Amino acid sequence: MRRILTATALGALVAMPAMAQDTTTINAVMPKQRSANYFPLIVGEALGYFEEEGIEVNLLPSDTPIPFVNFLRNGQADIAMLDSAEVLQAIAAGVDLNVIYEVMQTAPDGIAISGDSSITDVEELAGETVGLVSDRDRVTMQIALDARGMTEDDVTTVVVGEAGPTLAAAFRDQTVAAIAGSGPDWLAIQANGIPVKLITPEEVSNKPGNTFAVMASTLEEKGDAIEGYLRAWSKGMYVAEVDPEVVAQIARTAVPEEWEDPEFGQQYLNNAIRLNVSVTETLGGLNTETWSAIQPGMQKFGLIDEQVEPDRFLQPGPVEAANDFDRAEVEEEVAAWREANM
Amino acid sequence: MSDEGDLGAVAAKGRTRGIVARHAGILVALVAAWEISCRMGWLDPLFFPYPSAILLGFWRLYITQGNIWPHLGLTMLEVLVGFLAGSALGIALAVCVGMSDRLRRYLKPYVVVLEATPRIAIGPVIIAAFGFGWTSKTAIVMLVCFFAPFVNTLNGIVGVEPEKQSMFRSMGASKVQTFTKLLWPSALPEISAGLRLAMASALGGALVAEFIASNAGLGVLITQYTGTLNMASAFVCVLTLSALGYFIFRGMEELDRIVVFWSDGDRTDAMSRRRKAAWRAKMGTTS
């Protein structure tokens, strides 16, 4: 009995510093709920990386037409996942926004056609009807057409909607010649046995897909917490490089809805890993050249009025902190988790 | 008398069984026709999954995975809290407006304009104003649940015959007495109808809120399942909502029968019979 009491007292003493540590809530606004699509978050939570940093992530999934920047400005969100157009438009509007991390370094946007279609290139779409998953995908189509010396006037466009069945029927029945959207849009369709081919010109993919952005004032006030958030995210991302099966197992538990069809779940995760794992050596690294290169096209299609120097909004400091972790330690933790749970 | 009552109860039970059997028969026939149509290729399983797959989905979501429960619980909680808050506000405001001509003149046009504005358009604005949490979702359900009780309460109070009000005045009734003894009881059937309408809309309001911004709830689950083309599971959620809506509505009808008993002839008769029997028992007489 005495031994048990001593062990309990020792355990309590060891646990005390962790309990005493204040937890900071980071309000993160993103387009979707917890999903394999953002596996670094669910992996980071499952392996306790956010907790280690003293952070609790309050995910704010939003499907509103209100720009996410507004939630940063009114203080409802500390950090937002924004695409490159949203970032540049906010900067052009004078918002004191900092891009601190590139979540997806290649854009998931693309042009897809039915697997049975005879079309092989975007230039063959002249005179055809092109479906847009949402109106936001119009610029993807514009850039793709521009890459082949065409304009929007060369095709007829129609918004087919984000609903899975409608989109799947459009592919299967070929009611439109091609669809402009992003990877996750047609992943479900492929996984359900409807063949899809991509004819995306390189110019479309060659831009940052999603970034983490914060207001400059938030970075001053909550700098340590934001860095901790990014470090936990990076560790979660790194786990996919170390052991993708562990990521799959965590996703199965965290988001069972995406794994009712195991084949779909695996394909969805594979695509998410392809998009989320950084191509640069530094996880989440900011690519100044790409940010400069995408602006002429955006200006041409009226997304931005004028180009801005990337130095004005790229803030590389937090990226360094996000990579400041011991990779060997993560590898050991992953092995231990596998041992205990798989 | 007792025998007649027993016979009546047996007959009523028989009628209920007959109705249930007829409805069950119609349901089975419809489901069978649906299944056959899917198997024959007349219905597109992309939009109408096999009923057998939906049945398996029910087993999966409710029993083996059990993942629907927290979502269902949250949606029900949003519906309940939003309904209570929205209808309480609607009734309270309608009482104030109904009792004051001046307030009615000033406030009613704004309420009508707000009523005419589509909720789906207001949703994002509410999210932006109140944030992503519980408050904004409840606010959306509240907004949806506000109008029917407001309009019905107002109509009920304003619609009380002036002669009755004059009679109360002539008998020296105070404002409170006029309200509690005349206006409120007279308006109660209409208020109850408004509450039924509000409850039926509350589910829609909660779904709108969940579609716009939420981490959990049946709306989120439907979005996830349709996004992954898992239509059988999406139908499980939709059918759950339909069943929920049906039981809520029937529950409200039952509550209405109990609270506003005088609007139901059968119930009024039954109550009269009970009171008559009680009175006779008290006086020591028999029929």
pLDDT at A98: 95
Contact A257 B214 (CB under 8 A): no
Which of A70, A260, A261 best tests the B interface by mutation, with the highest count of B CBs <10 A? Answer: A260
Angle at A264 between CA A258 and CA A270, to 5 degrees: 95
**Domain check: are A218 and A70 in the same one?**
yes
CA distance linking residue A222 with residue A24, whole number of Å: 9
Task: Sort out which chain B residues have CB atoms less than 8 A from A165's CB and list them.
Answer: 46-47, 226, 229, 231
Residue after which a domain boundary falls, among A170, A205, A240: A205
Burial class (CB in 10 A: 0-12, 13-18, 19+), A92: middle
**Domain check: are A222 and A278 in the same one?**
yes
Does the structure show a pLDDT above 70 at B285?
no
Alpha helices in chain B (DSSP H): 2-39, 51-59, 68-99, 101-116, 119-130, 134-158, 162-170, 175-178, 184-212, 218-227, 231-259, 265-283
Burial class (CB in 10 A: 0-12, 13-18, 19+), B246: exposed
Residue position matching structure tokens 């004005």: A312
**Domain check: are A290 and A228 in the same one?**
yes
Contact B228 A164 (CB under 8 A): yes
Rounded mean pLDDT, B166-195 = 89
Tell me the nearest-neighbour CA distance from A292 into chain B, angstroms: 32
CB B248, CB A288: distance < 8 Å: no
Whether residue A173 lies within 8 A of chain B, CB to CB, comes out as: no
Neighbouring residues of A150: CB distance < 8 A, sequence distance ≥ 6: A122, A123, A125, A126
Cβ-based neighbour number of residue B84 at 10 Å: 16
Q: What is the dihedral of CA A160, A166, A172, A177, to 10 degrees?
A: 0
CA distance linking residue B25 with residue B195, whole number of Å: 32
The ipTM estimated for the assembled molecules is 0.72
Q: Which amino acid is at A118?
A: S
**Domain check: are A215 and A291 in the same one?**
yes
Tell me the nearest-neighbour CA distance from A36 into chain B, angstroms: 12
Contact A60 B132 (CB under 8 A): yes
pLDDT-wise least confident of B7-21, B63-77, B241-255: B7-21
CA distance linking residue A217 with residue A57, whole number of Å: 19
Element (H, E) at A27: strand A24-30
CA distance linking residue A232 with residue A163, whole number of Å: 33
Does the structure show a pLDDT above 70 at B59?
yes
Does the structure show a pLDDT above 90 at B72?
yes
**Domain check: are A148 and A297 in the same one?**
no
Region B51-270: CATH code: 1.10.3720.10
Task: Sort out which chain A residues have CB atoms less than 8 A from B211's CB and list them.
Answer: 63
Whether residue B229 lies within 8 A of chain A, CB to CB, comes out as: yes
Cβ-based neighbour number of residue B117 at 10 Å: 11
Contact A189 B229 (CB under 8 A): yes
What is the CATH number for A162? 3.40.190.10
**Domain check: are A200 and A224 in the same one?**
no
pLDDT at B224: 86
Tell me the nearest-neighbour CA distance from B46 into chain A, angstroms: 6
Q: What percent of chain B has pLDDT over 90?
A: 29
pLDDT at B260: 79
**Domain check: are A200 and A277 in the same one?**
no
Whether residue B136 lies within 8 A of chain A, CB to CB, comes out as: no
Contact B131 A33 (CB under 8 A): no
Whether residue B225 lies within 8 A of chain A, CB to CB, comes out as: yes
Tell me the nearest-neighbour CA distance from A63 into chain B, angstroms: 5
Search chain A and give the residue with CA nearest B128: A71
Whether residue B213 lies within 8 A of chain A, CB to CB, comes out as: yes
Confidence class for position B4, pLDDT limits 50, 70, 90: low
271-330 of A, contacting B, C-beta below 8 A: none
Cβ-based neighbour number of residue A65 at 10 Å: 10
pLDDT at B2: 52
Whether residue A196 lies within 8 A of chain B, CB to CB, comes out as: no
Q: Which of B123, B124, B228 sits opposite A258 (nearest CB)?
A: B228
Task: Sort out which chain B residues have CB atoms less than 8 A from A65's CB and list them.
Answer: 124
Segment A221-272, tens digit of pLDDT: 999 999 999 999 999 999 999 999 999 999 999 999 889 888 888 988 998 8
**Domain check: are A214 and A336 in the same one?**
yes
Whether residue B70 lies within 8 A of chain A, CB to CB, comes out as: no
pLDDT at A190: 77
Segment A296-312, tens digit of pLDDT: 888 888 878 888 999 99
Whether residue A60 lies within 8 A of chain B, CB to CB, comes out as: yes
Confidence class for position A7, pLDDT limits 50, 70, 90: very low
Residue after which a domain boundary falls, among A156, A178, A205: A205
Contact B127 A62 (CB under 8 A): yes
Alpha-carbon distance values, A264 to A162, A271, B48 (Å)? 18, 11, 20
Angle at A15 between CA A10 and CA A17, to 5 degrees: 120
Contact B233 A61 (CB under 8 A): no
Contact A260 B233 (CB under 8 A): yes
Which of A41, A57, A64, A264 best tests the B interface by mutation, with the highest count of B CBs <10 A? Answer: A64
pLDDT at A13: 43
Residue position matching structure tokens 């693309």: A110
Count of positions (residues) in chain B: 287
Contact A66 B128 (CB under 8 A): yes
SS3 B130: helix
Which of A166, A175, A257 best tests the B interface by mutation, with the highest count of B CBs <10 A? Answer: A257
Task: Sort out which chain B residues have CB atoms less than 8 A from A263's CB and list them.
Answer: none
Whether residue A66 lies within 8 A of chain B, CB to CB, comes out as: yes
Residue after which a domain boundary falls, among A173, A205, A237: A205
Q: What is the dihedral of CA A165, A167, A170, A176, to 10 degrees?
A: 170
Task: Sort out which chain B residues have CB atoms less than 8 A from A66's CB and list them.
Answer: 124, 127-128
**Domain check: are A162 and A223 in the same one?**
no
Which of B68, B71, B132 best tests the A interface by mutation, with the highest count of A CBs <10 A? Answer: B132
pLDDT at A3: 47
**Domain check: are A213 and A319 in the same one?**
yes
Q: Which of B67, B211, B213 sits opposite A257 (nearest CB)?
A: B67
Alpha-carbon distance values, A122 to A65, A128, A186 (Å)? 29, 10, 18
Does the structure show a pLDDT above 90 at A116?
no
Does the structure show a pLDDT above 60 at A12?
no
The number of distinct structural domains making up chain A is 2
CA distance linking residue B69 with residue B8, whole number of Å: 41
User: Given the DSSP bridges, would you call strands A178-182 and A196-198 parallel, antiparallel or unpaired?
Assistant: unpaired
Segment A73-93, tens digit of pLDDT: 989 999 999 988 889 989 988
Q: Which domain holds residue A97?
A: 2-105+207-341
Contact A257 B47 (CB under 8 A): no
Mean model confidence pLDDT for chain A: 87
Contact B128 A33 (CB under 8 A): no
CA distance linking residue B238 with residue B246, whole number of Å: 12
Q: What percent of chain B has pLDDT over 70?
A: 96
Contact B128 A163 (CB under 8 A): no
Q: Which residues of B7-22 are buried (b: 16+ CB within 10 A; e: fewer)?
A: eeeeeeeeeeeeeeee
**Domain check: are A243 and A151 in the same one?**
no
CB A40, CB A233: distance < 8 Å: yes
**Domain check: are A90 and A224 in the same one?**
yes
Which of B46, B126, B228 best tests the A interface by mutation, with the highest count of A CBs <10 A? Answer: B228
The distance of Cα A227 from the centroid of its chain, to the nearest Å, equals 18
Angle at B148 between CA B98 and CA B165, to 5 degrees: 25
Tokens standing for residue B175: 């404002």
Q: Which amino acid is at B80?
A: L
Segment A35-68, tens digit of pLDDT: 998 999 999 999 999 999 999 999 998 877 788 8
CA distance linking residue B271 with residue B260, whole number of Å: 12
pTM: 0.78
